[in-house]
């Protein structure tokens, strides 16, 4: 059995894990990264990146279809479009492969040793990795658990055959004629909307009273209208019972208690994600847990000295950029630098149509925290860039404290607003007040002007509305 000794070992090569390893290598730590699958984890390989690629394909196909049907307001027409779905999948896979190669190159540049295989704890300082060429024992001063998460399977709808996870949806060989999405969160709506644009008859089954239940109703109302316009049937307060007897659809208990069947070539189950910790040997450790997640402190430290946990195994929000920030921080802590985790602003984005961005506190969350607030909202219907390119639906909303004008939250809904998320996060992290944003010159014509205008509105002197 080969034995490796190092200063830092990272278990899991997803966004949090590989960022942690790269930063540790940059800081001169002797670092080993263990990954059993492809570098980049779920986000790069079967999540964030491939789903955005398919969303883009769907958007482009929809534009061509509208042009062919004479539905563009500016006179553009085109022949009836055709989609080579296999080529689209190949294009998506090519992007993923290029990014895989890029991550590997960055790890090599940082002098990180990559061990391919499944890791299992022997004790708090030792892990054993089963590789294709045999077992390797790794002894490290510091261990980082970054094993990520996987789609949750419903007992009544186990994955297989017609029942697929988000991973399966991104590797289909053809567009299904009918698709039922079980779970109306951001993953289900992103993929459901994309397939509806590609030609699928899509239905969404959500157990709660609203889709996107983690976002406030003002933001999600725009999404609901768009889903209806795309012909997507949404059943809220409904329960998925299981496949039909013929296996050609899904049995559903509707909100009124009546049972009905929905035709489905494919049933996409997107009811959440669970941390990946099976067969990791955690029984050899004494870790405090927070439900099914590993409990961590402000430095991402666990209850055992020298063991850290980052990303999805530590709970919500399960976002790649949260894991990356944690990974970079833990690497610096391992190198002896003073760092602590500040989670005041982790932007959340739904790449639906239109997109939603939420950073910091919403108005309702601020009021629930007992904060007296000012709210400024500016519609894209009054923004020149939105009107000439992105579409007029949506707005930017700023939430600020009434006592000192400090910005504590910014939200937006609209076409292309995901690209505004960095500005939202920066304003909140830097402790900006309304006057800071209002006094910053915003380029014209851009969507970003809506941020300044929302600040004007909160201050009581809106210019363009």
Six-digit token string for 269: 């189950």
* Omega before 445 within 30 of 0, i.e. cis: yes
**How far apart are the C-alpha atoms of 264 and 311, rounded to whole Å?**
34
β-partners of residue 410 are: 359, 398
Contact 182, 164 (CB under 8 A): no
How are strands ordered across the β-sheet holding 266-269?
Answer: 163-164, 266-269, 178-182, 201-206, 233-236
C-alpha distances in Å from residue 249, one per residue of 110, 162, 245, 260, 304: 50, 9, 9, 10, 48
Question: Is the backbone of residue 134 left (phi > 0), alpha (psi -120 to 50) or beta?
Answer: left
Six-digit token string for 118: 């499944």
Quote the longest CA-to-CA distance of the chain. 72
Question: Is the backbone of residue 436 left (phi > 0), alpha (psi -120 to 50) or beta?
Answer: alpha
C-alpha distances in Å from residue 148, one per residue of 94, 101, 120, 348: 23, 20, 15, 18
Contact 128, 136 (CB under 8 A): yes
Contact 103, 37 (CB under 8 A): no
C-alpha distances in Å from residue 448, one per residue of 75, 380, 395: 28, 10, 11
Q: Which residues are catalytic?
A: 444
Six-digit token string for 282: 């955690």
């Amino acid at each position: 059995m080969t034995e490796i000794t190092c200063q830092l070992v990272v278990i899991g090569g997803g966004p949090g894990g590989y960022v942690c390893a790269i930063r540790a290598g940059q800081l001169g730590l002797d670092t080993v990264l263990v990954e059993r699958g492809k570098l980049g984890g779920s986000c790069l390989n079967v999540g964030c990146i491939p789903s955005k690629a398919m969303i883009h394909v769907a958007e482009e196909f929809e534009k061509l279809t509208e042009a062919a049907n004479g539905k563009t307001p500016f006179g553009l027409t085109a022949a009836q479009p055709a989609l080579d779905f296999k080529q689209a999948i190949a294009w998506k896979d090519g992007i993923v492969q290029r990014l895989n190669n890029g991550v590997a190159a960055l790890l090599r540049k940082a002098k990180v040793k990559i061990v391919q295989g499944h890791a299992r704890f022997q004790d708090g300082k030792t892990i054993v990795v089963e590789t294709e060429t045999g077992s390797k024992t790794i002894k490290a001063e510091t261990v980082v658990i970054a094993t990520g998460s996987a789609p949750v399977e419903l007992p009544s709808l186990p994955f297989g055959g017609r029942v697929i996870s988000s991973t399966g949806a991104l590797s289909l060989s053809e567009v299904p004629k009918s698709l039922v999405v079980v779970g109306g969160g951001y993953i289900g709506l992103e993929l459901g909307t994309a397939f509806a644009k590609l030609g699928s008859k899509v239905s969404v089954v959500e157990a709660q009273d609203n889709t996107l239940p983690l976002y406030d109703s003002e933001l999600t109302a725009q999404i609901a209208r768009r889903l209806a316009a795309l012909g997507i049937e949404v059943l809220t307060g409904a329960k998925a019972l299981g496949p039909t007897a013929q296996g050609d659809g899904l049995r559903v208990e509707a909100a009124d208690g009546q049972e009905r069947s929905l035709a489905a070539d494919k049933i996409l189950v997107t009811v959440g994600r669970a941390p990946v910790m099976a067969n990791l040997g955690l029984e050899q450790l004494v870790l405090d847990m927070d439900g099914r997640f590993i409990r961590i402190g402000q430095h991402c430290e666990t209850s055992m000295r020298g063991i850290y946990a980052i990303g999805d195994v530590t709970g919500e929000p399960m976002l790649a950029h949260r894991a990356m920030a944690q990974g970079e921080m833990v690497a610096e802590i391992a190198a002896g630098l003073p760092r602590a985790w500040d989670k005041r602003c982790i932007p959340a984005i739904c790449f639906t149509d239109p997109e939603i961005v939420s950073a910091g506190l919403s108005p309702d969350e601020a009021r629930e925290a007992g904060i007296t607030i000012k709210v400024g909202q500016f519609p894209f219907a009054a923004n020149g860039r939105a009107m000439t390119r992105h579409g007029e639906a949506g707005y930017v909303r700023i939430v600020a404290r009434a006592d000192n004008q400090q910005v504590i939250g910014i939200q937006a809904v609209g076409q292309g607003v995901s690209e505004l998320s960095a500005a939202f996060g920066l304003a909140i992290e830097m402790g900006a007040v309304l006057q800071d944003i209002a006094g910053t010159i915003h380029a014209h014509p851009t969507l970003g002007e809506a941020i300044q205008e929302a600040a004007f509105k909160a201050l009581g002197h809106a210019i363009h509305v």
